[in-house]
Amino acid sequence: MIDAFTPGAQRALSRAQARARSRNALAVEPSDLLVALVDEAESRAAELLVRFGLEPARLLAALSFEPQSEAAAEVPIGDPAEGGGEAAAIPHSAACRSVLSDAIERARATVRSNLAGTEHLLAGLLSDSSPVEAMLEAAGVALEPLRGHLAESIDPGVQPIPPPAEIPPLDLAEPARDADLARILDASANRAREGLRVVEDFVRFALDDPGLTRRVKEVRHRLADALAGLGNEHLLAARDTPGDVGTHIMTHSERIRENPQAVLTANFKRTTEALRSLEEYGKLVDVWLAGRFEVLRYDVYTLEKLVLTAVASFRPLGTACLMVLVGGLPTLGELTWVVGEALSGGADVIQLREKGLNDRELLRRAREIRILTAQAGARFILNDRADLARLAAADGVHLGQQDLSVRDARRIVGPRLLIGVSTHTPEQIQAAILAGANYLGVGPVFPSATKEFSEPELAGLALVQSASETTSLPWFAIGGITEANLPRVLAAGASRIAVSAAVVRADRPRLAAARLKAALEGKPLPDLPPDQEET
């Protein structure tokens, strides 16, 4: 969602996160966002609040009645924002999510593909009665004049879309043409609605993906708002299903669907084609309204990529839940021994992460691991190097935040290889999903024995919980995970983990991998008899 906001609004959202953390809150509330907007002194929202009577001292007094911890009561406005952007994210409350959604909708309703700014966030805070309104009123803000100004001044110079009641009915020179156009628009509207509903059902019930479900539902609701501008009564009056010659014509391909992906593909195409028809014929009704269908069509193209990428990612990763990262071993023999032990213990994915080898030696080791993983029926991922991943016939490449973009890596590895991305914040998770990543690394959860992170970089269990609430795209919690702390990771919502030291540095890598795998699958932990030696 963060990519729907301007840089100023994003800074305000970061400040709101920081203030919620300072209050030891479980969620970011609208009051946190209000304080953040006031703190963003040069923002349009802050200027408007001051212009309509805001007195910061009175706002502080009003905030003192807000439920908060003792520590939070001592934090002045502005202080939490310092360095807050990199700390563990806190989810937004339902009320705050409503404000953010309202801000995005206001921005999109006026300028196509526009980003929501601080003034849209302020309008969202004032959209309905809430404690925030009481705080602003206590702080001297003239609410009604402010509301009126926002209604008139958001995105000045752009004519807002009038409500459906104000849009005149279709008005063509000949009644026959009027009815024909209405039938075209009605049929296209029905196809678009039906196609989106089919997609939403799969995303919701098969993928069980909250992030994608929200995206599809948002597009469907925006479609309903746009269609309301066509005049539903006029379209219904022109509908003639028994007389539609197309209802009696069906091709062979329309009768057969080989798998769920074929259903999704067909309905995405059905939706975009219907939106194109609405866009073109809608120009005869209202050019601006036709533009809304155009924006929706582009949004559905993005949805198609996200949904089908998620479906394709489950095939190679499926139930894979244990990834073991290997590397840094002095000889190829030691490396292959550790990989063999990890695979024997149940590792589903092996990722080779080497930093000091020349390309020729790295490729040699990658090819050896490719052979071992292929024999074990496991997946092999190479870290960083998209070019060598392709040469080694790896199953994929894993990218860090400073490595190649997903788009550029895809140009090297082609359409079939997996691309994973390391993510450390909710914003990076969203960006990786939008970029088309097949899976994510989420962390670091704990301090790592194999890779150093500064304190602000430690994402913690909050990021694990955020990922579990955001996407069902395959993702692996990573960073300092051991058998001892694994229950906490699973309780936070993870079902897949990536480990290194917990297996590679264990006295018995095979047993360590087996115990981690059993814990992930909810099975009894295996034990090794004292007199049994591993070979």
CA dist., res. 444 & res. 389, Å (int) = 24
Q: By C-alpha distance, which of 65, 36, 273, 34 is closest to 136?
A: 34
**pLDDT attached to residue 451:** 63
Q: What is the pLDDT of residues 294-345, one digit of tens each?
A: 999 999 999 999 999 999 898 889 899 999 999 999 999 999 999 999 999 9
Question: Which distant-in-sequence residues (6+ apart) come within 8 Å of 257 by Cβ?
Answer: 263, 266
- Lowest pLDDT segment from 84-93, 180-189, 194-203, 224-233: 84-93
CATH class of domain segment(s) 164-313: mainly alpha
E strand or H helix that includes residue 17: helix 7-22
CA dist., res. 432 & res. 284, Å (int) = 39
- How many residues in total does the chain contain? 535
- Lowest pLDDT segment from 20-29, 74-83, 245-254, 514-523: 74-83
pLDDT for 430 beyond 60: yes
Q: Would you give the end-to-end CA distance of the chain in angstroms?
A: 51
pLDDT for 181 beyond 80: yes
Fold of 318-521: TIM Barrel (3.20.20)
Beta bridge partners of 478: 498
CA dist., res. 438 & res. 420, Å (int) = 6
pLDDT for 84 beyond 80: no
* DSSP assignments along 436-451, one per residue: T-SEEEE---S--SSS
Q: By C-alpha distance, which of 206, 198, 191 is closest to 247?
A: 191
How does residue 176 score in pLDDT terms, banded at 50, 70 and 90?
low
How does residue 77 score in pLDDT terms, banded at 50, 70 and 90?
very low
How does residue 168 score in pLDDT terms, banded at 50, 70 and 90?
low
* DSSP assignments along 24-82, one per residue: T-SSB-HHHHHHHHHH-TTSHHHHHHHHTT--HHHHHHHHTTS---HHHHT--TTGGGT
Contacts of range 298-301, beta carbons closer than 8 Å, 24 or more positions apart: 299/219, 299/222, 300/196, 300/219, 300/268, 300/271, 300/272, 300/275, 301/272
CA dist., res. 145 & res. 54, Å (int) = 13
Whether 55 and 139 have beta carbons less than 8 Å apart is answered as: yes
E strand or H helix that includes residue 124: helix 118-125
Across 390-417, b (16+ Cβ under 10 Å) vs e yields: bebebbbbbbeeebbebeebbebbeeeb
Q: What is the DSSP letter of 492?
A: T
169 vs 95, higher pLDDT:
95
- The CA R_g of the chain, rounded to the nearest whole Å, is 27
Q: By C-alpha distance, which of 122, 100, 117, 124 is closest to 52?
A: 122
**pLDDT attached to residue 154:** 67
**pLDDT attached to residue 158:** 43
CA dist., res. 216 & res. 437, Å (int) = 19
Average pLDDT taken over every residue of the chain: 84
Q: Is 499 in a helix, a strand, or coil?
A: strand
CA dist., res. 493 & res. 434, Å (int) = 22
Q: By C-alpha distance, which of 225, 220, 228, 224 is closest to 299?
A: 220
According to CATH, the superfamily of the domain at 2-153 is Clp, N-terminal domain (1.10.1780.10)
Task: Tell me the average pLDDT across 193-217.
Answer: 93
Q: What is the pLDDT of residues 210-249, one digit of tens each?
A: 999 999 999 999 999 999 988 888 788 888 888 777 766 6
Across 230-250, b (16+ Cβ under 10 Å) vs e yields: bbeebbeebeeeeeeeeeeee
**pLDDT attached to residue 172:** 47
**pLDDT attached to residue 20:** 87
- Burial of residue 106, with CB atoms counted within 10 A of its CB: 0-12 exposed, 13-18 middle, 19 or more buried: buried
This prediction has a pTM of 0.64
Across 352-387, b (16+ Cβ under 10 Å) vs e yields: bbbeeeeeeebbebbebbbebbeebebbbbbbbbbb
pLDDT for 507 beyond 90: yes
Domains 2-153 and 318-521 equal at CATH topology level: no
How does residue 147 score in pLDDT terms, banded at 50, 70 and 90?
confident
Q: What is the pLDDT of residues 442-471, one digit of tens each?
A: 999 998 766 665 555 567 999 999 999 999
**pLDDT attached to residue 392:** 97
**pLDDT attached to residue 54:** 82
Domain residue extents for the chain: 2-153, 164-313, 318-521
Q: What are the angstrom distances between the C-alpha of 20 and each of 27, 60, 69, 70, 96?
A: 7, 16, 10, 13, 12
